[in-house]
Amino acid sequence: MSTNGKKLLCSESELEAFAARFANHATAGFVIYLKGPLGAGKTTFVRGFLRGLGYQGVVKSPTYTLVEPYRFSNELVCYHFDLYRLADPEELEFTGARDYFTDSAICLIEWPEKAVGHLADADIVCDLAHHPDGRTLTLTACSVKGDRLMRFVKPY
User: 82 - beta bridge partners?
Assistant: 110
CATH of segment(s) 27-129+144-149: 3.40.50.300
Q: For every one of its 156 residues, what pLDDT tens digit does the chain have, with 9 covering 90 and above?
A: 445 677 778 888 999 999 999 898 888 999 999 999 998 999 999 999 999 999 998 888 887 788 999 998 778 999 999 999 888 888 888 878 888 999 989 999 999 999 988 899 999 999 999 988 888 899 999 999 998 888 877 544
DSSP state, residue 102: S
pTM here?
0.91
Q: How far apart are CA 108 and CA 78, in angstroms?
A: 7
pLDDT given at position 150: 84
Cα 66 to the center of its chain, rounded Å = 14
Q: How far apart are CA 91 and CA 97, in angstroms?
A: 9
Q: How far apart are CA 145 and CA 23, in angstroms?
A: 13
pLDDT given at position 140: 92
What are the structural domain ranges in the chain? 27-129+144-149
Burial 58-83 (b: 16+ CB within 10 A, else e): ebebbeeebbbebeeeeebebbbbbb
Alpha helix ranges (H) inside 96-156: 144-150
Q: How far apart are CA 155 and CA 151, in angstroms?
A: 9
Q: 3-state DSSP call for residue 103?
A: coil
| Cα within 13 Å of Cα(107), Cβ side | 23
| Single-letter amino acid, residue 57 | G
pLDDT given at position 156: 45
pLDDT given at position 88: 86
